[in-house]
Structure 1
Amino acid sequence: MEELIAKRYIKALKTSTDTKSMGNITIVFKALAEAFKNTKFIQIMNSAEVSDEQKLEILLAAVKPAKSESINTLIKLLVENSRINIIPALAEGMRKDAAHTSKTYSGVVYSDTDIDAKVMKDLSSGLSKKFDSKISLEFIKDDFDGIKVNVEDLGIEINFSKSRINSQIIEHIAKAI
């Protein structure tokens, strides 16, 4: 539900700001969303004892260095409509929107064996060409028996499991006999 509400705010924000400003707003909201990982901050924002004016003061003080009227207005709207808790969803939605706009994505490669940097570069450039985007990949050693590539924002998940390939080879040989 939060994501749907956040999308409406993002859509309205995109129509009223340019791409550069939207990038700056995304950075500010990403930093603001980090505060929501702190349990004390969440307690303050959810507390009935803290007035909306005090919550607004806290949030405006946090974004003051950005010196952006668009950000201040959005914060005021969120507080007025009691939607402070969607700030992390807003930040994530803005990040995804910025990735789609710039066609720049990041993904993860999982494997139980180390993968050479050249192979990672080749995977990245191959996917970039295939999807007409700039895709950067990060390697994470995992207990996955094979290789799994995941670019979440594009909805791509490719995996090659050694055990699955072996079973398919055995099936193919059995059918051939």
Structure 2
Amino acid sequence: MEAMIAQRYVKALTSMMDAEALANTKTLFDALADAYKEKAFADIINDPQIGDAAKEELLLAIVAGADSSAVNNLIKLLVEKKRLTVIPAIAESLRLTLAGMNKTYEGKVYSNTEVEASTLAALSSDLGKKMDATITLAFVASDYDGIKVEVEDLGVEVSLSKSRMNAQLVEHILKAI
């Protein structure tokens, strides 16, 4: 639900700003989303005994350095509509929107054996060409028996499992007999 609400706000921001201003706004909302991870900050924002004016003042003080009237107005609107809890969802929606605009995505490679940096670079390049995007892959050690490449923002998952390959090989041999 919050993601759908956040998309509406991001759509409005996208129609008002160019890519550079949107990237700056994303940085601001990333900082606000990080602030929500702090228990003290989240307690202040979620406390019904603290007035909306104080919450607005706190949030505006955090983004004051940006000197952006669009961001200030958005924060005032969020306070007025009592939708401060969607700020992390707005940050995520901005990240996805900018990734789509710039065609730059991040992915992960899961394997139980170390994958070399040159292999990651080759996978990134080949997958990027296939998807017509710039993809950056990072290695994540896991207990996956094989290799799995996942780019969540694009909805792409490619995997090669040793156990599945063995099962298919045995099945093929049995069919041949």
State the TM-score bracket (shorter-chain normalisation).
Answer: over 0.9
TM-score by length of 2: 0.98
Equivalent position of 1:108 in the other structure: 108
Equivalent position of 1:13 in the other structure: 13
Q: Offset of 1:140 from its aligned partner?
A: 1.1
For the residues of structure 2 that align with 1:30 and 1:58, how far apart are their CA atoms?
A: 16
Equivalent position of 1:131 in the other structure: 131
- What amino acid is aligned across from residue 110 of structure 1 in structure 2? Y
> What are the Cα deviations for residues 93-138 of structure 1, in whole angstroms up to 9, with x where unaligned?
0000000000000100010001122111110000000000000100
3-state SS in 2 of match to 1:41:
helix
**Length, aligned pairs only:** 177
For the residues of structure 2 that align with 1:57 and 1:15, how far apart are their CA atoms?
A: 26
**4+ residue segments displaced more than 6 Å:** none
For the residues of structure 1 that align with 2:105 and 2:111, how far apart are their CA atoms?
A: 20
> What are the Cα deviations for residues 137-159 of structure 1, in whole angstroms up to 9, with x where unaligned?
00011111100111010001111
For the residues of structure 1 that align with 2:65 and 2:176, how far apart are their CA atoms?
A: 70
Q: Offset of 1:18 from its aligned partner?
A: 1.3
For the residues of structure 2 that align with 1:117 and 1:84, how far apart are their CA atoms?
A: 41
3-state SS in 2 of match to 1:137:
strand
Q: Kindly report the root-mean-square deviation, in angstroms, between the aligned alpha carbons of the 2 structures.
A: 0.6
Q: Offset of 1:162 from its aligned partner?
A: 0.5
Structure 2 residue runs of 5 or longer lacking an equivalent are none
Alignment of 1:1-177 (within 5 A): 1-177=1-177
For the residues of structure 2 that align with 1:135 and 1:164, how far apart are their CA atoms?
A: 27
Q: Offset of 1:170 from its aligned partner?
A: 0.2
For the residues of structure 2 that align with 1:19 and 1:163, how far apart are their CA atoms?
A: 45
Structure 1 residue runs of 5 or longer lacking an equivalent are none
- What amino acid is aligned across from residue 165 of structure 2 in structure 1? I
Identical-pair percentage: 50
Q: Offset of 1:19 from its aligned partner?
A: 1.3
